[in-house]
Amino acid sequence: MIKVGIIGATGYAGGELVRILTAHKEAEIVWYGSRSYIDQKYASVYQNLFQIVDDKCMDDNMEVLAEQADVIFTATPQGFCASLMNEEILSKTKIIDLSADFRIKDVNIYEKWYGIEHKSPQYIDEAVYGLCEVNREQIKNARLIANPGCYTTCSILTAYPLAKEGLIDMNTLIIDAKSGTSGAGRSAKTANLFCEVNENMKAYGVATHRHTPEIEEQLGYASGENVVLNFTPHLVPMNRGILVTEYAKLKKQVSYEDVKAVYDKYYENEKFVRVLERDVCPETKWVEGSNYVDINFRIDERTGRIIMMGAIDNLVKGAAGQAVQNMNLLFGLKESEGLDLIPMFP
């Protein structure tokens, strides 16, 4: 059994990690880390796990945890993982970090967009960006995994095949994204209160959202270009889910069959990426509670643009599910172990 430690186990992503890993045949959670609930029963924080998880919450001592766990998940705010990372920890255990600390390769860009000093930049180059469908082989041999962000996972996978094959003008790419409120985390914030969110929809982080450079960097690797794009997120009154709609100018005239063949080239054998049938637009409800990404596209011949669409559950494929997918690769397990989660409907 893989011994697993989770720091930040009582946030939404941490809670989803517990839900998934509790049913994982090859994993055992040995540490439920939560600075806010030390010595309190985990099931008292998440009552859905009553009589399923009997353990108490512990602190966030990574040095001690590294002695006990084969892998540590850090579902923590930006800066936390980087502030504790050192060679002693990495020599004893593997780290899958769900924050942005090791996602962006240019430390100056990270510090500019996140507004904090990076405490362990010496590990940035070593960290593998944990987008399994793209970096599968590198992930298998890594010590430190930078688990991608939720918006970025959906945005990158939706456009990746067309960027990789050079079918779209990357300078024209615009990403319109919408997320449920769980993406904002579990801490109390006035903007996330029911009365503020219900019957409402709003854009936020316009031209400044922190996932922008992450999307640009990864699609830049795919296209071989320096990518600068517009990314605009919106908050919608639902618990889970991300829907992205992406627009880009086509470099040449293509048919539906041409584009479908490109998506099939990259995703036909990917269990968790579902390219939908022609003219079927992705919906968040179709992926809720699962590790699937639903993708489709529509060619607009009138404007010479292509419209790409993608949907994920932000807490599963956008966070915890992808982290477990990374763990499975790290330990040579079946990639879908613990992740055969059929989407919930309604």
Catalytic positions, written as ranges = 150
Residues 6 or more apart from 281 whose CB is under 8 A from it? 296, 309
CA distance 238 to 192: 11
CA distance 146 to 69: 18
Amino acid at position 36, single letter = S
Amino acid at position 105, single letter = K
Peptide bond into 346 cis (omega under 30): yes
| Residues paired with residue 255 on neighbouring β-strands, in sequence order | none
Helix (H) or strand (E) run with residue 220 in it? helix 212-223
Give backbone dihedrals phi and psi of 77, rounded to 5 degrees, phi first: -65, 160
Helices (H), 115-255: 132-140, 150-164, 194-197, 212-223
Amino acid at position 332, single letter = G
Give backbone dihedrals phi and psi of 250, rounded to 5 degrees, phi first: -75, 145
Nearest to 120 by CA among 78, 79, 82: 82
Give backbone dihedrals phi and psi of 155, rounded to 5 degrees, phi first: -65, -45
Neighbours of 172 (CB within 10 A): 15
CA distance 192 to 163: 35
Amino acid at position 310, single letter = G
